[in-house]
Homo-oligomer: A and B are copies of this chain.
């Protein structure tokens, strides 16, 4: 079950944060087709945001074709964004874990590390946006 964490001081709309985090879970395979998202009620209990805001996020994801809202039942994942290579036990993840451990040991904080990664990505990839991880980036990957 995903657990949303909303940072109200980030300036990023709450519903966008929910979408970002859901997408992230889809990419990682943490969330798979058929899985149920937490109910609006549950999210409200966990995050103290308004149910309407949760529903807004879920509706957006429905329109993007990622989930399906079934009245009375809940919200269910209808599409995967999972990538081979991003599985829990992939070598890439192990190497990454190793690298981040060393980065932290070197005194780098979360924000520093994310800045480094973004910079590394922007080096190879001079296309597109430049923003954050978990960008909605118009969810339209494979299924």
Contact = CB atoms under 8 A, between A and B. Distances in A.
A46 interface: no
Contact of A85 (B20, B93, B107, B135): B107
Given A16-B11, A130-B7, A96 B118 contact: no
Given A10-B16, A16-B12, A60-B63, A118 B133 contact: yes
Chain A: number of interface residues, binned into ranges: 35 or more
Interface in A87-130: 92-93, 95-97, 99-104, 106-121, 123-125, 128-130
Contacts of A114: 114, 117-118, 121, 132-135
Interface string A41-65: 0000000001000000000100110
Given A92-B102, A99-B92, A111 B23 contact: yes
A14 B12 CA distance: 10
A95 to B, nearest CB: 6
B99 A96 contact: yes
Nearest to A127: B110
Nearest to A111: B137
A21 interface: yes
B107 A134 contact: no
Contacts of A92: 99, 102-103, 106, 108, 116
A131 to B, nearest CB: 5
B115 A27 contact: yes
